[in-house]
Structure 1
Amino acid sequence: MQFTSEQHLDDGVFEREFTLGEIPGTLWTPGSAPAPLILIGHNGGLHKREPRLVARARHCATHGYAVAAIDHPGHGDRPRSATDEQARADLRRAMATGEPVDEIFESFVGPLVEKAVPEWRTTLDALLSLPETAGPVGYSGMTAIGIRLAVVEPRIKAAGFFAGGYVPRAQREEARQVTIPLLFLLQWDDEGNPRQRALDLFDSFGSKEKTLHANMGGHAGTPWFEVEDGDRFFSRHLK
């Protein structure tokens, strides 16, 4: 892991950009160390510097967590393959014409999970070798990637999932193997995610402790107080 830039922010958070092989990422740490680590991902796998993600990360860091985000393959600063570009073009066309989009999402999100999860585990190895980070570890973000991580990565002890992204069939089956505590956020009027599918997924999780928070509004309308509730959730399980 190589740190490429660093800055002390006004809220006392130390922000550093890093690279780990081909993986670019950002690490936010509080003044106290070592701190429990939260892996944070945008629900659409977008840029690690996406403003809402950065705001969530900095808020968590001010509450005593080390927080890390990476750019997934084909997202953010990373190059897109011809397959990625074709999938995006197919998706835009289908949404514009009202065609079904599930199979397009399946062909796009499924491979993303297969590529991103090993990179998250490699990043986790490197992060936990730093003196300023420690376990236990939490995950907050994209549900499809989070399900796979929760199944294969025993160091993750609690997770917060956003129900607004497509979850491939393989991860819907894997949801039954997820047993860690969960906080599941659902936008009741999410235009891109059928409500019943999200409720069925929540029902599938094998966790004994799982909480569903549903709020009115569309895909990007998750209220900020859910970030604060997420801090309380992680405090119960990581501190």
Structure 2
Amino acid sequence: MDLHFTAEQRHDDGTLEREFILGEIPGTLWTPGSVSDPAPLILMAHNNGLPKSEPRLVARARTTAAHGYTVASIDAAGCGARPHSAAAMQARADLRRAMQAGEPVDEIFESLVGPLVEGAVPEWRTALDALLELPGLNGPVGYSGWTALGIRLAVTEPRITAAGFFAGGYVPRAQREEARQLTIPLRFLLQWDDEGNPRQRALDLFDAFGSKEKTLSANMGGHVGTPAFELAEGVGFFGRHLK
């Protein structure tokens, strides 16, 4: 399967942003403006099916690229503007209703997020195969973003050598078990008062990770209140393990 670039723009900081298509998979690749050696590749995903064009992801991607990394994001199956299954649409509707009514939502999350992860991981691996065939992209590879996807991807993809996870969002039972299999360096970012992510569940997940080198970075505030300095801390983490 061939990767084709469909559009590009050069930003003021020199970062080159290119849209691509790989079969039915749309993606974006951000390349640093000037780098003498092949830049490490970071796969960057947002939570629970949000698109690769989500502003917070784009801001993180551009800043990370400006620090000398190549960054890639895709809209995998059921994510972004790609078609959503009838089951996923029903689960989202059930989730909204249950949350408004104050009812338990764990099983609804399971029925929504579990299939999203199952569908997304093969497409991310296909994209990684194609990306590493591009000139100047030969690894090492890191992962940043959606925890549920990242756990499964890191467990099944040996080319990923370090990962940064965002604790927000539901993590299915299967990925909570798989967390014990992870051995790569990890950085786990937690918002202490995240209204959509029970704190104790996030702490239990961090404890379950099998990595000998794992860091928990917790800040006060809700889901979208992550301090700006955490992005620089994340870049530093990847600098220690990918460069």
Alignment-derived partner of residue 233 in structure 2: 229
Matching residue's letter, 1:225: F
Alignment-derived partner of residue 9 in structure 2: 7
Matching residue's letter, 1:210: K
- Rounded to whole Å, the distance in 1 between the matches of 2:132 and 2:113 is 27
Equivalent residue in structure 1 for 2:63, among 52, 59, 65: 59
Q: Does 1:122 align with 2:161?
A: no
- Rounded to whole Å, the distance in 2 between the matches of 1:129 and 1:173 is 33
- Alpha-carbon contact 1:36-1:66 (below 8 Å) kept: yes
Identity %: 78
TM-score normalised to structure 2 length: 0.96
How far 1:220 moved relative to its partner? Answer: 1.1
Alignment-derived partner of residue 168 in structure 1: 172
- Alpha-carbon contact 1:36-1:133 (below 8 Å) kept: yes
Q: Does 1:188 align with 2:192?
A: yes
Q: 4+ residue stretches of structure 1 with deviation over 3 A?
A: none
SS at match of 2:143: strand
**1:155-202 per-position Cα deviation (integer Å, ceiling 9, x unaligned):** 000000000110000000000000000000000001111100000000
Equivalent residue in structure 2 for 1:135, among 136, 139, 150: 139
- Alpha-carbon contact 2:29-2:70 (below 8 Å) kept: yes
- Rounded to whole Å, the distance in 2 between the matches of 1:229 and 1:117 is 26
- Alpha-carbon contact 2:77-2:123 (below 8 Å) kept: no
- Alpha-carbon contact 1:148-1:174 (below 8 Å) kept: yes
Alignment-derived partner of residue 216 in structure 1: 220
- Rounded to whole Å, the distance in 2 between the matches of 1:126 and 1:209 is 30
How far 1:65 moved relative to its partner? Answer: 0.4
Residues 8-27 of structure 1 correspond to what in structure 2 (within 5 A)? 8-27=10-29
- Rounded to whole Å, the distance in 2 between the matches of 1:72 and 1:94 is 27
Matching residue's letter, 2:226: T
Matching residue's letter, 1:91: L
Unaligned runs of 5+ in 2: none
- Alpha-carbon contact 2:141-2:242 (below 8 Å) kept: yes
How far 1:75 moved relative to its partner? Answer: 2.2
- Rounded to whole Å, the distance in 1 between the matches of 2:119 and 2:79 is 12
Q: Does 1:154 align with 2:158?
A: yes
SS at match of 2:117: helix
SS at match of 1:129: coil
- Alpha-carbon contact 2:140-2:161 (below 8 Å) kept: yes
- Alpha-carbon contact 1:45-1:142 (below 8 Å) kept: no
Answer with 39-48 or 172-181: which moved more. Answer: 39-48
How far 1:67 moved relative to its partner? Answer: 0.1
Task: Give the length in aligned residue pairs.
Answer: 239
- Rounded to whole Å, the distance in 2 between the matches of 1:170 and 1:141 is 18
- Alpha-carbon contact 1:4-1:19 (below 8 Å) kept: yes
Unaligned runs of 5+ in 1: none
SS at match of 2:122: helix
- Alpha-carbon contact 1:16-1:26 (below 8 Å) kept: yes
SS at match of 2:107: helix
Matching residue's letter, 2:68: G
How far 1:9 moved relative to its partner? Answer: 0.9
Q: Superposition RMSD on alpha carbons, in Å?
A: 0.9
